[in-house]
Protein backbone atom coordinates (compact mmCIF):
# COMPACT_ATOMS: atom_id res chain seq x y z
CA UNK A 1 0.00 0.00 0.00
CA UNK A 2 2.81 2.40 0.89
CA UNK A 3 4.63 1.62 -2.35
CA UNK A 4 1.54 2.53 -4.37
CA UNK A 5 1.28 5.84 -2.52
CA UNK A 6 4.95 6.58 -3.20
CA UNK A 7 4.49 5.73 -6.88
CA UNK A 8 1.46 8.00 -7.18
CA UNK A 9 3.38 10.77 -5.45
CA UNK A 10 6.22 10.44 -7.96
CA UNK A 11 3.79 10.50 -10.87
CA UNK A 12 2.18 13.62 -9.43
CA UNK A 13 5.54 15.38 -9.10
CA UNK A 14 6.54 14.51 -12.67
CA UNK A 15 3.20 15.71 -14.07
CA UNK A 16 3.44 18.96 -12.14
CA UNK A 17 6.95 19.64 -13.38
CA UNK A 18 5.89 18.98 -16.98
CA UNK A 19 2.98 21.41 -16.60
CA UNK A 20 5.28 24.05 -15.16
CA UNK A 21 7.49 23.84 -18.24
CA UNK A 22 4.62 25.14 -20.38
CA UNK A 23 3.87 28.11 -18.09
CA UNK A 24 4.51 31.53 -19.61
CA UNK A 25 4.73 34.51 -17.28
CA UNK A 26 2.19 37.16 -18.29
CA UNK A 27 3.55 40.48 -19.46
CA UNK A 28 2.77 43.68 -17.52
CA UNK A 29 0.52 44.78 -20.40
CA UNK A 30 -1.55 41.61 -20.05
CA UNK A 31 -1.89 42.15 -16.31
CA UNK A 32 -3.11 45.76 -16.59
CA UNK A 33 -6.78 44.96 -17.04
CA UNK A 34 -9.60 47.42 -16.47
CA UNK A 35 -10.45 45.68 -13.19
CA UNK A 36 -6.85 46.06 -12.01
CA UNK A 37 -6.71 49.74 -12.92
CA UNK A 38 -10.04 50.35 -11.16
CA UNK A 39 -8.78 48.63 -8.02
CA UNK A 40 -5.66 50.82 -8.05
CA UNK A 41 -7.86 53.91 -8.29
CA UNK A 42 -10.13 52.70 -5.47
CA UNK A 43 -7.11 51.86 -3.32
CA UNK A 44 -6.08 55.52 -3.44
CA UNK A 45 -9.47 56.40 -1.93
CA UNK A 46 -9.00 54.03 0.99
CA UNK A 47 -7.41 55.31 4.13
CA UNK A 48 -6.80 53.74 7.50
CA UNK A 49 -7.41 55.73 10.65
CA UNK A 50 -6.55 54.27 14.04
CA UNK A 51 -8.33 55.63 17.09
CA UNK A 52 -7.53 54.61 20.65
CA UNK A 53 -10.33 56.52 22.34
CA UNK A 54 -12.19 59.81 22.17
CA UNK A 55 -10.05 61.90 24.51
CA UNK A 56 -7.05 59.62 25.00
CA UNK A 57 -3.71 61.10 24.09
CA UNK A 58 -1.29 58.67 22.50
CA UNK A 59 2.11 58.31 24.12
CA UNK A 60 4.72 57.91 21.33
CA UNK A 61 6.83 55.76 23.68
CA UNK A 62 3.93 53.38 24.34
CA UNK A 63 4.69 50.02 22.78
CA UNK A 64 1.35 48.38 23.52
CA UNK A 65 0.17 46.07 26.26
CA UNK A 66 2.33 43.61 28.15
CA UNK A 67 0.67 40.70 26.34
CA UNK A 68 1.39 42.27 22.96
CA UNK A 69 5.04 42.59 23.95
CA UNK A 70 5.20 38.95 24.99
CA UNK A 71 5.56 39.68 28.73
CA UNK A 72 3.62 37.53 31.15
CA UNK A 73 3.30 37.70 34.93
pLDDT tens digits for range 2-37: 999 999 999 999 999 999 999 999 999 998 999 988
Classify residue 7: in a domain, yes or no.
Answer: no
Distance between CA atoms of 2 and 62, rounded to whole angstroms?
56
pLDDT of residue 42: 80
Indicate whether 35 belongs to any domain.
Answer: yes
DSSP label at residue 38: H
Q: Residue 21 is part of which domain span?
A: 12-46
Q: How many domains does the chain have?
A: 1
The residues, any chain, with a CB within 8 Å of residue 63's CB and separated by 6 or more, are: 69
Please, are residues 69 and 63 in contact by the beta-carbon 8 Å criterion?
yes
The verdict on residue 58 lying in a domain is no
Q: Is residue 27 part of a domain?
A: yes
Question: Is residue 32, in this structure, part of any structural domain at all?
Answer: yes
Determine, yes or no, domain membership for 52. Answer: no
What is residue 71's predicted lDDT score, i.e. its pLDDT? 58
**What is the rounded CA–CA span in Å between residue 12 and residue 20?**
12
37 in any annotated domain: yes
Amino acid sequence: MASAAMAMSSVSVVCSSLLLRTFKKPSPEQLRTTEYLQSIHLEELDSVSVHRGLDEKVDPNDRGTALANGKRD
